[in-house]
Amino acid sequence: MNRKFITVDFSNGVDSFSIKLYSKFTCIFGLDSGKGKSKLLVDLLDGLVDKSCSVTSDSDIKVRIIDNVDLDDITSIKERRIYVLDEPTSANSKDLLEIYNTDHLFIFICRSLPFKNEYPYHNIYHLNMTDTWYTVSEGNLRMYKYPVPIDTIVTESYPDRSEHELVSKYFPNIIAARGRDRVEKVLRNLTGNVLALVDLGNIGRAYRILCKRCKDNENLYFYDYQAFEELLYYAPLLEQLPPVDSVDIFKYTSIETYYEDVLSLRTRSTDFEYVHGKPLAKPFLERHNFNAVFNSDVGKLLFTLLLNCGNMSKAEVYLRAQAGDKFDLLPTVAVADCKTKQDCDMLLQSLNVLN
């Protein structure tokens, strides 16, 4: 998937590790103590003085390592920087908020961020010490891969809103968790193969408890999208609308909010208008637009899953496979009337919509 990110490289001249920044906050954490979190910052600060270490980004943005949260240093600098901080939770709330409201990007070495500061799943790294330096690994959630069949889908949204409203049209066994922090409770006692549609771009402090759910249920999977709005934004259905390039994702503390904003801007005053908190625009919900909604880089796994495990009849699945993008030319009633392969082939031939 074509997601914008900045790479930051941490090197001691012998070994190096890299992390990718997808939005304002990135979290390097160690589940256990003694894994080198505090030592990393000390090594970096010492190494930058004697030039044995380097911390660089692949953009024009300078990277600065700071030990204590110093407001004057951060809030007075107007040019965007990437700051690496250890344990930012010690300062008071007002000071931290001032820092967060700057244009800078932050890599926090910590176990938790205070308040509701959100960071995406792909901005979470686990740190480990080696004999010569450090390594990082990405988050521990189990991502969905087809062809694992799914028994239940759990959505972060409320019933008949957002992804629940859309996906429930194609999948019969779907539960709305009513909020990110309620997802884990729904997942707690579910058995069977479960797919969780959670905005990974906003996972924040829910990450740890969702990892626990993955440990408890080996058949729990998460869908790899930053937000449901990311799926909508990249839907082929919106191809005709010019993309929104002017909004800087790195200004956002939440990737979910970024996608809400760009989707809203892109679809404003059109038939596809998206308004956060309101029901989806009709074209997204029309069954004949299934391909046009889901068949994108972001949605393709969900597309395949719903096609093969959802509530579509075998005839509809066959017609979609045969007609491809031209499926929406087939009258809905005619599709519903098809019971056999012969019926389907006759329909396809009569309308001359074969691939």
Q: Using DSSP, state whether 257 is helix, strand or coil.
A: helix
β-strands 62-66, 81-86 pairing: parallel
- Considering only residues 140 through 179, tell me which ones interact with another protein, judged by CB under 8 A: 179
Residue 135 corresponds to which amino acid? T
Q: Which stretch binds another protein (CB under 8 A): 119-127, 184-192, 239-247, 339-347?
A: 184-192
Q: Least distance from C-beta 11 to another protein, angstroms?
A: 22
Q: Which residue of 181, 239, 248, 337 would you call a contact of another protein, by CB under 8 A?
A: 181
Q: Least distance from C-beta 112 to another protein, angstroms?
A: 3
Q: Least distance from C-beta 281 to another protein, angstroms?
A: 28
Looking from the CA of 284 toward its CB, the CA atoms found within 13 Å total 26
Q: Which residue of 14, 32, 50, 78 would you call a contact of another protein, by CB under 8 A?
A: 32
Q: Which residue in 100, 180, 94 sits closest to 85, CA to CA?
A: 100
Q: Does 126 sit near another protein (CB under 8 A)?
A: no
**Token pair listed for 113:** 């961020």
- Provide the terminal-to-terminal Cα distance of the chain, rounded to the nearest Å: 26
Q: Which stretch binds another protein (CB under 8 A): 165-173, 183-191, 237-245, 318-326?
A: 183-191
Q: Are 125 and 27 in contact (CB under 8 A)?
A: yes
Q: Which residue has the tokens 């069949």?
A: 149
Q: How many chain residues bind another protein (CB under 8 A)?
A: 34
Neighbour-count burial for 220-246, b at 16+ CB within 10 Å, e otherwise: bbbbbbbbbbbbbbbbebbeeeeeeee
- Considering only residues 1 through 30, tell me which ones interact with another protein, judged by CB under 8 A: 30
Q: Using DSSP, state whether 50 is helix, strand or coil.
A: coil
Number of H helices, E strands in the chain: 14, 13
Q: Does 110 sit near another protein (CB under 8 A)?
A: yes
Q: Does 89 sit near another protein (CB under 8 A)?
A: yes
Q: Which residue of 64, 70, 77, 114 would you call a contact of another protein, by CB under 8 A?
A: 114
What does the alpha-carbon distance between residue 51 and residue 119 come to, in Å, rounded to a whole number? 31
Q: Least distance from C-beta 258 to another protein, angstroms?
A: 16
Q: Least distance from C-beta 163 to another protein, angstroms?
A: 19
Q: Which residue of 7, 46, 97, 282 would you call a contact of another protein, by CB under 8 A?
A: 97
Q: Using DSSP, state whether 341 is helix, strand or coil.
A: helix
- Considering only residues 196 through 235, tell me which ones interact with another protein, judged by CB under 8 A: 205-206, 208-209, 212
Q: What residues have CB less than 8 Å from 51, skipping those under 6 apart?
A: none
**Token pair listed for 163:** 């992804």
Residue 293 corresponds to which amino acid? V
- Which positions from 34 to 73 touch another protein by CB under 8 A, shown as an x/- string? xx-xxx----------------------------------
Residues lying near another protein in the complex (CB under 8 A) are found at 30-35, 37-39, 87, 89-90, 92-94, 97, 110-112, 114-116, 179-182, 184-185, 188, 205-206, 208-209, 212
